[in-house]
Structure 1
Amino acid sequence: MGFPGTWMTESESVVYRVVPKCACSTIGQIMYFSDHGEFFDGDIHDATSGMHKWAIEESHQPIMNNVREHTSYAFTCVRNPYTRILSSFFDKICGIQRNGKRYRGNLVPMLIQKYGIEVGGEDGKEEFDQIKSFRRFLLFARDTIRWRRPMDPDIHWSAMSGHISTFIVNGGQYDNIFWTEAFNDGMQQVLDAIETPHAVDLAAIPRFNESEGHGPKRAHPVEDYFDDLSMHLVYEIYKKDFQLFKYDFENPGNKMPIGEIDLDEVHAKLGD
């Protein structure tokens, strides 16, 4: 199995388990900058050199050796499940991707046909009932996660605990898991704990939101998208995420965590 979704600086100063839709573009660019003193020119997900990634064959051995020996500080970052699934909908389902096409080719036409969702027309710019379409997308997301149909779940809406567990199950150990909602505090803790070839001034780092502008703007407050049934579906899909990362299931309008993440609990519950 190895360590899918794991990135490591070439200097091996730090190891990061990517969780999609949780500030991964910004974190990747910070790691790249900490080694090279400059940002990667483009989307960091497209970088095939300058950083170790599990997706790159030659990086397998260095990552495996480091993670299994716990040579370097290892971390990841999480996000409120309500805002994460909403973001996935607007970016991946309603939005036009970097290549000028719809995400995953025939996925959106299939959703329009089978689940009756709307996405704002050809370019995602037309008015449509965002709340109704999002709730139908939520049914689809649940179907993919519970029954793996009409397709396997996508990394952008599969549970964070699933991503995070592969690192633990295969012999990794996290030193830090922090919240996207308190990004500067969490990222600063990581930077304070490691030594990098180039100093990183977090206050001067831009936010690399690669999904920004892909799709229509959210027209309503977060809580308006989730009625009682939607909340039930979200809990069915993301129960572990709410429990382990201390988010408020009862109130979709509260994106902030309501407790502290217990790393021992995370390792115990996701290490089976």
Structure 2
Amino acid sequence: MGFPGTWMTLDERLVYRVVPKCACSTIGQIMYYGDHGHFFDGDIHDATEGIHKWGIEESKARISEVVKAQEAYAFTCVRNPYTRILSSFFDKICGIQRNGRRYRGNLVPMLIQKYGVEVGGPDGKEEFDQIRSFRRFLLFVRDTIRFRRPMEPDIHWSSVSGHVSTFIVNGGRYNHIFFTEKFNEGMQTVLDNVELAHPVDLAKVPRFNESEGHGPKRAHPVEDYFDDLSMHLVREIYKRDFEVFKYDIDDPSNKMPIGEIDLDEVHAKLGE
């Protein structure tokens, strides 16, 4: 299987397991800057050179070698399951993507037809019942993850622990896992442990948000989107994320972690 979703700096000092909707655009740009002294001009997800990616055929052998030998500082970043799934809904389902189209072609029309989801009209700018539509989307997410129908789960709503585990199962080991909600603190730990060709001053790094402006703004507090049923679904889908990455499963309004990540526990539970 290898190391899908893994990026590495050209100097092979930093290895990052990408987790969608967890500050991956900003992290990728920081890695790019560390090699080149400037940020990538455009969305870092579109870069096909200047950074090693598992998706680039020529990069696979080097990534495999470095990760298995545990020669680089390996890290990833995680996020509260409640806010992550909400972000996926507004960006990927309600939003127009950077190519000017809906995400995954016929996905949104299918959600409208089969699940009664509304997305704010053709451009995502019309008023609609965000809470009702999100809860219907959540039923679809549960169906994709539990029953793999009407489609396989998408990377933007498949569990964080699922992404993180492939790296471990295939022979990698993380040196650090940090919280999106404590980004500067966590990313600084990474930078303190490697010597990059071009040092990065986190205070001066802009936030690169590939989903910014794609969809309608969230109109309500996070907790308003989750009634008893939708909280039950989130617990069912993301139970392991809450447990391993120390988020509050009982309070959607609390986006902050309630404990520290134990790397040994992560490797033991996700390496099975």
TM-score, normalising length: structure 2: 1.00
Q: In the alignment, does 2:170 pair up with 1:170?
A: yes
Shift of 1:270: 0.5
Q: In the alignment, does 2:75 pair up with 1:75?
A: yes
* Aligned residue identity for 1:65: E
Q: Which residue of 2 aligns with 1:233?
A: 233
Shift of 1:184: 0.1
Shift of 1:261: 0.4
Distance 1:151 1:12 in 2: 36
Distance 1:244 1:253 in 2: 19
Equivalence map 1:127-206=2 (5 Å): 127-206=127-206
Q: In the alignment, does 2:264 pair up with 1:264?
A: yes
Distance 1:67 1:199 in 2: 23
* Aligned residue identity for 1:16: Y
What is the aligned length? 272
- Can you give the 5+ residue segments of structure 1 that lack an aligned partner in the other structure? none
Distance 1:251 1:235 in 2: 11
Identity of aligned residues (%): 80
Shift of 1:180: 0.2
* Aligned residue identity for 1:196: L
Equivalence map 1:1-272=2 (5 Å): 1-272=1-272
* Aligned residue identity for 1:35: D
SS for the counterpart of 2:20 is coil
SS for the counterpart of 2:74 is strand
Shift of 1:241: 0.2
SS for the counterpart of 1:90 is helix
SS for the counterpart of 1:16 is strand
SS for the counterpart of 1:191 is helix
Shift of 1:13: 1.5
Distance 1:13 1:48 in 2: 19
* Aligned residue identity for 1:12: E
Distance 2:120 2:60 in 1: 41
Aligned partners of 2:13 and 2:71 also within 8 Å: no
* Aligned residue identity for 2:131: I
SS for the counterpart of 1:15 is strand
Report Cα offsets for 1:102-129 as digits up to 9, x if no partner.
0000000000000001000000000000
Distance 2:13 2:28 in 1: 13
* Aligned residue identity for 2:121: G
TM-score, normalising length: structure 1: 1.00
Distance 2:85 2:202 in 1: 27
* Aligned residue identity for 1:153: P
User: Runs of at least 4 residues of structure 1 off by over 4 A?
Assistant: none
* Aligned residue identity for 2:269: K
* Aligned residue identity for 1:156: H
Report Cα offsets for 1:48-98 as digits up to 9, x if no partner.
000000000000110000000000100000000000000000000000000
Report Cα offsets for 1:201-228 as digits up to 9, x if no partner.
0000000001000000000000000001
Shift of 1:133: 0.1
Report Cα offsets for 1:205-260 as digits up to 9, x if no partner.
00000100000000000000000100000000000000000000110000000001
Aligned partners of 2:20 and 2:156 also within 8 Å: yes
Distance 1:247 1:164 in 2: 16
